[in-house]
Amino acid sequence: MPEVKIIADLRESEQSRIAVLENGKLAEVFIEYDEEHSAKLSRQGDIFKARVDKIMPSINAAFVAISTKSEKNELRNAFLYLGESIHTSGIKAGQNIIVQITKNARKNKAPRVSARISLPGRWLVLVPDSDETGVSRRIEDNAERKRLKRIAETLQTELVNFGVIIRTAAENISEELLRSDMNSLLELWNDIKHKADVTPAPCMLYRDTGTLGKVLRDEIIGRIDEIIIDESEEFERTESFAERFFTEKPDVKLYSGTTPIFDYFGIEQEIMKALERKVWLRSGAYLVIDQTEALTVIDVNTGKFTSAPDMRHTVLATNLEAADEIARQLRLRSIGGIVIVDFIDMLFEEDKQELITHFERVLSHDRQKAHIFGITHLGLVELTRRRERPDLRSILTRNCPVCVDNGFVEREENIAMNIKRFIRKLIGNNNSEAFMIQCAPYAASYISHVLSEWENEFSRKIFIASTPNFSWSKYKLYYQGSIENAESQAKDLKRNSKGQVIIYRT
């Protein structure tokens, strides 16, 4: 079993990043943007004791108040479809009801809620006020489905008015662990019900685990040795989560250094490497990875590798090493769908079979199932990998506005987050009143819309200098010091550039 370490970068509310390290090497990264962070009062999975404000019979729906007063001194409403649950039958304005967020708020749209509550654990989902049982459709083995269905029915008969749904992660998990997961969820539901009995509406009864918790709950199968988090509130929630859901509790630590946590552990550089076409192997061989809409093509080259005793062993050793790295890159880049691998041609059938057997073995450790279809007449290896989430490139890059469909550039929002982390690092090392950052125009324009939020968060004056001759993702500190001198520096920079540099400030 590899040593598994989770590194959570959660200081910036606009972007959450979770890295999974196996034996010290980056294996997977999960990145989630929160476009509504500035007004975020709730998120998917949260449970509330709500008050029904208004019934709308024409659309068979209601608005319910789910939170205390917002910044605008108004109750935050949510949208509830009626008829989804027995609890919505005949409800009236002023009545209290327990609801769960099923769709986050977007811009001017209220969040959507449901009176059908579901509590996901690591292995199963508990559904209060239900008698349903089920097994995830993604579990394909018929014998395993029957075993899990039998366990679900057994657990459900022991409960009173609860449904049990077995999750995909429960494949090959023992009944003892499933029962332990169920008991933890029952305790959680009892806590929620007790809070609902003693707290007036509207109020929050349960906050879902957030990006880190969802990764721990939904994405990681097996033992976790250590979790390191850079945000204190999430650290406390994760401590509680680990106590509840892990049979072997991982060591949970709080990171408080001024250097951004991904920089400190060398993860930032590894993420940037995962966006490159060429991947160097330890032997001196390399891969070339090209992603298209229809499929991904990976080419294997010997490169500088010549240490094997003869050509046959050089080719086989290169292909075996490449298979290991390809399996890692598929996980790291979250590549799904059809994958074609052009391994170096091998003349001997036993070498081809050794490669396929080895490739199948290393792919078997992947949580997303991959299926190899063998070697074609052209010497290509065809495989498919289940696509569960967007690939890393689509999350961090977009089509180049100059090259259009012929190239990719880093997304402005990701450049902005890099700059924000850079500013946070600067603030941790000095007491300057103001900072001026130079960056490329597209990134500067994006930052201008969130600049006031950054200044409020950091309690510093921030100037963003849009500099045309900067490469797309380049940025640097131009000035730090007093606000008065920063104003003067901004005027001089703009004048010396003959108006080409635009200064964004609040």
375-384: per-residue pLDDT in tens?
888 889 999 9
**Nearest residue to 116 (alpha-carbon basis) of 129, 134, 103:** 129
Based on the domain organization, do 184 and 134 belong to the same domain?
A: yes
**Nearest residue to 162 (alpha-carbon basis) of 139, 144, 188, 140:** 188
CATH code of the domain in which 164 resides: 3.30.230.10
Q: Does residue 396 belong to any structural domain of this protein?
A: no
For the sheet containing 119-120, what is the strand order? 119-120, 124-128, 162-166, 133-135
pLDDT at position 308: 58
Residues in Cβ contact with 46 at an 8 Å cutoff, skipping those fewer than 6 apart: 100, 101, 204, 206, 207, 208
Average pLDDT score over the chain: 89
pLDDT in tens, 208-217: 877 888 888 8
Residues in Cβ contact with 38 at an 8 Å cutoff, skipping those fewer than 6 apart: 453
pLDDT class for 221, splitting at 50, 70, 90? Answer: confident
- Tracing tokens 């097996």 back to the chain, one arrives at 222
The four Cα atoms 227, 229, 234, 237 give a dihedral, to 10 degrees, of: 20
Q: Does residue 247 belong to any structural domain of this protein?
A: yes
**Nearest residue to 326 (alpha-carbon basis) of 307, 298, 348:** 298
Q: Does residue 397 belong to any structural domain of this protein?
A: no
Query: In this structure, how many other beta carbons lie within 10 angstroms of the beta carbon of residue 474?
Result: 13
What is each CA distance from 217 to 209, 237, 255, 292, 416, in whole angstroms?
9, 13, 22, 31, 29
Residue 411 backbone dihedrals phi, psi, to 5 degrees? -65, 145
Distance CA 192, CA 71 (A): 27
246: pLDDT strictly greater than 60: yes
Query: Quick one: three-class SS letters along 450-499?
Result: CHHHHHHHHCCEEEEEECCCCCCCCEEEEEEECHHHHHHHHHHHHHHCCC
Lowest mean pLDDT among 75-89, 130-144, 158-172, 225-239: 75-89
Based on the domain organization, do 371 and 328 belong to the same domain?
A: yes
Lowest mean pLDDT among 163-167, 349-353, 386-390, 430-434: 386-390
| Cα 195–chain centre separation | 30
Task: Write out the residue range of the structural domain in which residue 23 sits.
Answer: 1-39+208-269
Based on the domain organization, do 372 and 282 belong to the same domain?
A: yes
Q: Is the peptide bond before 120 cis (omega within 30 degrees of 0)?
A: no
CATH code of the domain in which 229 resides: 3.30.420.340
Distance CA 287, CA 325 (A): 9
**Nearest residue to 97 (alpha-carbon basis) of 110, 116, 112, 111:** 116
Based on the domain organization, do 337 and 318 belong to the same domain?
A: yes
Based on the domain organization, do 251 and 290 belong to the same domain?
A: no
Q: Which of 220, 254, 269 is the last residue of a domain?
A: 269
Question: Rounded mean pLDDT of 118-134?
Answer: 91
pLDDT in tens, 311-340: 888 899 999 999 999 999 999 999 999 999
Based on the domain organization, do 34 and 58 belong to the same domain?
A: no
pLDDT class for 108, splitting at 50, 70, 90? Answer: low
Is there a contact between 54 and 75 (Cβ–Cβ < 8 Å)? no
pLDDT class for 444, splitting at 50, 70, 90? Answer: very high
Based on the domain organization, do 137 and 192 belong to the same domain?
A: yes
Q: Does residue 486 belong to any structural domain of this protein?
A: yes
Question: Rounded mean pLDDT of 486-506?
Answer: 92
pLDDT class for 506, splitting at 50, 70, 90? Answer: confident
Based on the domain organization, do 279 and 377 belong to the same domain?
A: yes
- Token pair for residue 10? 């959660």
Q: Does residue 400 belong to any structural domain of this protein?
A: no
Q: Does residue 231 belong to any structural domain of this protein?
A: yes
Name the domain count of the chain.
5
Based on the domain organization, do 298 and 369 belong to the same domain?
A: yes
Based on the domain organization, do 126 and 180 belong to the same domain?
A: yes
Residue type, 365: H
Q: Does residue 333 belong to any structural domain of this protein?
A: yes
Helices (H), 78-208: 142-158, 175-198
Residue of 365 and 107 predicted with greater confidence: 365
Q: Does residue 401 belong to any structural domain of this protein?
A: no
What is each CA distance from 293 to 337, 394, 405, 497, in whole angstroms?
10, 11, 12, 42
pLDDT in tens, 32-87: 887 544 334 567 889 999 999 888 888 888 889 887 654 443 447 888 988 777 77
Based on the domain organization, do 281 and 368 belong to the same domain?
A: yes
Radius of gyration of the chain measured on its C-alpha atoms: 26
